[in-house]
Structure 1
Amino acid sequence: MSAEPAETRRTTWNRRRTPPDPRHPPRTRVPLNALSLVNSLSLLDPRSLRWKIAALVAAASCAVAVAVGVLVHTTTYDWSLNVGRTAALQAAISAATGGGDQTGTVLQDPAVLPPELLRQAAAGEPVTWYDDTKPDEPWMWAAVRDGGRVLAVKVDMGAERRSLQALDRHIVMATLAALAIVVPLAALVAELPNRRLRRVAGTARRIAGGDLDARIGAGGRTRDEIGEISAAVDSMAGALQERLLTEQRFTADVAHELRTPLMGLITSAELLPEGEITELVRDRVGVLRALVEDLLEISRLDAGAERAEQVPVPLGEVVEESVRRTGLPARVEVTGHPVADTDPRRLDRIIANLVANAHRHGRPPVEVGVCGTTIVVRDHGPGFPGTLLAEGPRRFRTGAEERGRGHGLGLTIALGQAQVIGASLDFANAPDGGAVATVRLDAGARDRHTGV
C-alpha cells in the first residue's frame, strides 16, 4: 500500500529524563557545528543585533566626527580670517605712515578698489573686507584714509584657504579610519550579548519542544537584563516542570487508587445473573477497566519508567498478529520479508492502538501496509483534525466530533511507546480522504529483505 499525504505534521518528542537537582540546573550545550552555522548566519544577517549595534555605533561616531569637524573647521576659518585682517591692517597703516609695504599690494586708485571697501572706508576709520567672490583666489582687503586719498592693501588668503581644505580632508580621512576600526570592534563586542541571547532562545525552544530539563544556568553571570531574562526562563521551566510532575503523580495515584474498587466491581459484575442489563454493566465495567489501564500506562510513560527490549523480529508477521488480536477487520499488505530490531510487545501495542483508532474514529476499509521498516495504517474516514496535525495527539481530546467519541488516549499511548522504542509516529491526511498514521522505526534498525 502506498499513500502520499496531502499535509504532514511531524512532532518531535524528546525522551523524558529524571528531573535535575534544582540547585544544579544542567546547562544547555549546542553542538559545535550547529553553533558555527548559527554564528555564520548571524554574521551575515544585517537584521541581527550585532549589526544593529555596529550601525548605532557608526552613526554615533559619525555624529561626533561631524560635530568635531564643524567646530574645528569654523574655529580654524575664523582664526585665519583674524590673522589676515591683522596682517592687512598692519600693512595698510604702515603704508599710510610711510613705513612701506611689507605684506601686501598697495593700491591707491579708487577705480580699482572694490565698491564695498570704498563705502566702508568713507567713515574715515581703518576697515577690512574679505573678498571670496573667486573661491580659488580669496583676498583680505584693508583700507585707511590718508588725507583726501584712500590707501588700500590686499593680502592673498589662498594659502589659508588651501590649508583649511587640507584640514577638512584630513578630518574626513581620520573619521573613515576611525569607523573602519570602531565598527568591526563594536560588532565583535556585541557578539557576547548575542551569544547569551542565542543561548536563551535555544533553551526556550528546547523547553517548547518538551525538554523540560533544559536550563540556561546563568546563576554566576552579571546581573544585567540578559541575566534577568535567563533567570526568568530557568524559573519558568522549573515551575512548568514541577506542575507537570505534579500532574503526572496525580494521574498515577488516581489510576492506582481506582484499581482496588475496580477489581471489586469486575468481580461483582461477573456474579450478576445473565441478562441484557448485566451485559450493559459488564460492558461499561470493561470500558472503565481499559481506561484505568491506559492511565497507568501513560503514567509509566510520563515517568520515563518504560524500557525497550530490542530483538530482531519479522515485521510482517508481528503486524499481522497484532491486527488479528484486535479482532477488527483490516487488510494487511507486506512487501517482502522485512526484519528489524525492535520491541515486539510495544510495537504490538502501537499497531493495535492505531487500528482501533482507525475503526473508532474513521471508516472502513482499514489498510495496514508494511514496507521495509515503515508501517502505515490508513482509514477512509474524515481524516485527522487540524489541531491534531498541528499539535499532536492530546489526552482526553479527540479533536473533532466527526472523529467519534473516545478519551484521546490511544494515540497518546502509541506516540509514547514509539518514543520508547526509538521510532517516529507521523499523522497526516490522504489526498483522497482518510487518516494516515505512519510508524518509522529507528534509522539504525536492520532492514533485511529476503525477497521482494
Structure 2
Amino acid sequence: MLRNSLYVKLFVGFWLITTGILASWMLAARYFESLPGELVEVERPGPPPRFVLRLIYQLQNLPAEELPSLLERERRRHHVDVFLLNAAGEDLLGRDVPEVARMAAAQISPHQRRVFLKQERKPPVVAYAILRQDAGLMRAVLTTNRDHRHSMLRTLGDKLWLRILLAVVISGLLCYLLSRMMTQRLNRLRNAARELAAGRLDTRIAVRGDGGDEADELARSFNTMAEQLQRRVNAQKRLLSDVSHELRSPLARMKIALALAQERPEQSLAQLERIDRETQRLEELIGQLLSAQATDHPMDEHIDLVALLRNLCADADFEARANDKQVGLEAAPEQALVTTSGDLLRKTFDNILRNAVLYTPAGSRVTVRVNRSGAHYQVEVQDAGPGIPEDELAHIFDAFYRVDTARARDTGGYGLGLSIARRAVEQHGGNIRAENTDTGLLVTVLLPASDDIP
C-alpha cells in the first residue's frame, strides 16, 4: 500500500532530496572547519565586515590620545574589546592582555596577516596586522566581550550529529506539509469517486467556481460529470417508469378483450378489432420510442427548409380548419438549405406543429416564421394557447413528459413528440427551446445553415 501511494512517494522523495542537500552542505562545512592547525587557524574568505575595516583604518591613523575613546565606543556599540599589541605582546595602552589575545597575535607573520582563532565554548578571537606611524607594526586583536549565542546554539555548533538530526527533522516536517497540501485534494477526489461508484449520485466536491490550479479544474470537471451522470440516470429511471406505464394500459385492455372473446364467442369479432387497435397503438408507441432514442443518422442530404415548412404548414392548416384553427408560414426567405438525413426534419416540425395546433384555441392561428441568424436558420412556431407553467418549461422536451398529469391519451398522446424533435435537432447540431409569450407558447429551433451544395 505504501509503495503504491502517491502521497508516500512525494513525501519520501522530497525528504530524501532535502536531507541529502543539507547533509552534503554540513559535511563540506565540517571538512573545511577541521583543516589541520594546532589552534584551528582559518583565513576566512572575503573581506572583513564593514565596521572592522573602518575600525582598522582608525586604529592605523588616529592619534594615540584619541585611541581610548575609540576603543570604548566600539566596546559599547559592538561589544568588542580591541588590544593593540607589539611584537613582545604588550598593549599600546598598557592594559592587561588575555592569554588568548597573545596567542592570536603570535600567529601574525609576513605571510599571515589575519588570524581567526576558535575557542572551545567561547567566542572566537580575530587578529589583524596594522601599521602605525608612531609605533610601527602592531597586532590589533578583537575579542567579543559578550556571548550572544544561546546554550542550545552552542550545542548545535559543537555537535555535528545534532545539526544533521535537526536538519532531517525540519526537512521532514516541511516535506510532510508540502506533500499533504499536494495530495489532500486528490484524496477528496478519490473519496468522491468512490461515493459516486457506490450509487450516491448527488456526491459533489466543494471547489471554487473558477480559477485555481489543475486540481481545482479536475474537481470542477468531476462535478460536471457527476451532475450529467445523475441527470442521465434519473432520466433513464423516469423513462423506464413511463414506458412501463404506457405499455401496461394497452396490454391490460388486450387482456380484457381476450377474456371477453373467450367468454362470449359471439362477440369475438368485436374483441379482435379491439385487440387489433391496441396492437397498433403498441406498435406506434414502440416506433416513437425508438425514434426518440435513435442517434445514428448520418447527415448526408440537403433540404430546403422553406419548402419543407410550406408543405407541412399546408397539411397542418388543412387538418386544423376542421376545428376552426389556422396554420400559416410568414416572413420566410426564398430558400434555406440545411443538412439532414432522411425525413428527420419532417418528423421534427410535424411533431412541433401538431403540438401547437392541439393547444391553440378555436378561432386562433399558429404562425411559423423562418429567418437567417448568423450561421443558422431560426424557425419560430407561435401558438395562441395557454402556455406552460414556467417551472415546467425545461421538462417538456423530456420523453413521456406531459403537463397533463392525468395521462389521458386524448389530450396529449404519449408525450414523445417534443422529445423526438429535440433529439433530431441536436443530431443536426442545433438546439430547440420553448418560452411563454404574451400570446401563447413560442418554440424556437436553430439549425446550422448549409450554403454549399454538393
Note whether the superposition's TM-score is higher than 0.5.
no
Instruction: Normalising by structure 2, report the TM-score.
Output: 0.41
Q: Which has the higher contact order (CA 8 A, sep 6+)?
A: 1
Instruction: Normalising by structure 1, report the TM-score.
Output: 0.41
